[in-house]
Structure 1
Amino acid sequence: MKQSIDFTTLQEKVTATIREAIFTQTFKPGERLIQDELAAKLGVSRMPIREALRCLEREGLVEVLPHKGAQVIGISKEDIEELYYLRSFLEGVTVQKSMNFLTSGDREELQHLVEKMDQDIRNNNLDLFVTHNQEFHTLLQKGCNWKKVKMLNKQFIEGYPAHVPSLIPHSMQVSNEEHKAMLEALDQKDPVKLRQLVEHHIMRAGEKLTQLIE
């Protein structure tokens, strides 16, 4: 069981690394992705590379051709706009539904995560910021009991690069200020405002990301 957990974590990390390279056009449309070369570059075996390419094929980012291997399809400005619009809508609905079911303990933990992200910014620790950011968004949705919507949310979150803050200047600072505004809406018990803030938060990141590939 432990080996399975380790493999899953490694596969997710490899998938995220290749996905981000496609988003930033380090791997360009039409470029072949050679498993042996990727394995050597990332310091892993071929197995997580193969599974990562299958995952990215399902996301529409690569095409696996018989006897030829994987080839980058790439992502367009329109693809990013669609992805972020759908995610903003779904996550906005989820947090609006969730708000009234969050506990005082949840509120304290959300505050703690915001403080951790402030510390991550001061330390310029992108990896920890990404982790705490994901924990913040997940906890904010905790009170929603709509399983299908939360499942779709998870798919959309996994379908975009986690390290967007590294691609957009000053993104961590702006993002965490927006997190603080969300907590104010939570304290005001205003689910509509919370939804609007979350939607804006996600759409802003999407708009900045599209500018990178124009």
Structure 2
Amino acid sequence: MKTLRNMQTKDRIAQSIRDEILSGHMKPGEELAQEALAEMLGVSRMPVREALQTLVQDGFARRMPNRHIQAVVLDSQQIHAVFWIAGTIEAELVALILEKQRKDGENVTSDLSGIGRELRKILQFMEEVSDPDHKIQYEMEFHECLIHMADNPYLEQLQNKVMDGYVSYAISNLTEKGQVLHMLQEAAEAVEKRDAGAAGAALKEYYMYYADRFTERWRRQ
């Protein structure tokens, strides 16, 4: 784990511990002791205590009856469930988008064409850039754009919460993007054609592809 002498905030400490969990470097049930973590990270105990509280709230750690805190490391089946739920929610958000456009009446075709163009433009940028970090940014932007189009702030926050953690880590660290780009292109084309079923299927395939790659990477370590 990297020292954080120049990163004293609880959020950055929590992110560092979260990355250790997501990368598979921590074992299930491994104790997260305040004193040991503070010494390892080069920080005081207070921000570590606050960071651990955040991790408990986010499901990356659990507080035991003896007040000790242990890391929560999901198994392969649980990880697949996380990605399946993320894909299902996003597919349902697409269905809401298409239903809303249908109820809006005569402008539905032009509106959906605009949505499709926006999504395809993001994917075109993702395909053309060579910098892996930029590809990741455009991939995340695709999801942000799609989620926002549902025009439901509560569900938008819910999906963002699901995306944060295992999904965003997979997108940021599994950098072979050819196959995922193809699946997202299929989803964008289906949205433009008003085919909620095809869009949902492409999105679920995309998320499960990442779930498989994520767990394969852990098994190789």
Of 186-195 and 56-65, more deviation after overlay is shown by 56-65
Structure 1 length as normaliser, TM-score?
A: 0.74
* Greater Rg by CA: 2
CA RMSD of aligned residues (A): 3.1
The alignment status of 1:35 with 2:37, answered yes or no, reads yes
- CA distance in structure 2 between the aligned counterparts of 1:116 and 1:45, rounded to whole angstroms: 43
- Give the unaligned 5+ runs of structure 1: 1-6
| 1:25-174 to 2 correspondences below 5 Å | 25-33=24-32, 34-37=36-39, 39-40=41-42, 49-64=48-63, 70-99=69-98, 101=101, 105-120=114-129, 122-123=130-131, 125-126=132-133, 128-165=134-171, 167-168=173-174, 170=176, 172-174=177-179
> Normalised by the size of structure 2, how large is the TM-score?
0.72
Contact kept in structure 1, 2:27 and 2:71, CA below 8 Å: yes
Contact persistence 2:83–2:167 (CA under 8 A): no
Q: Which amino acid aligns with 1:22?
A: I
1:157 CA drift (Å):
0.8
Query: 2:190–2:199: 8 Å Cα contact kept in structure 1?
Result: yes
Residue 148 of structure 2 aligns to a residue in which SS?
Answer: coil
Which segment is superposed worse, 157-166 or 11-20? 11-20
Whether 1:190 aligns to 2:186 is no
Change (3 A) 1:167 1:151: closer
- Report % sequence identity: 22
Letter in structure 2 aligned against 1:63: R
Unaligned 5+ segments in structure 2 are 1-6, 102-110
Counterpart AA for 1:74? V
CA distance in 1, matches of 2:113, 2:44: 45
**Cα distance in 1 for residues equivalent to 2:135 and 2:29:** 33
Give the match for residue 180 of structure 1. Answer: 185
Separation of aligned partners in 1, 2:50 and 2:135? 27
After superposition, the Cα gap between the structure-2 partners of 1:119 and 1:21, relative to the gap in structure 1 and judged at 3 Å, is: farther
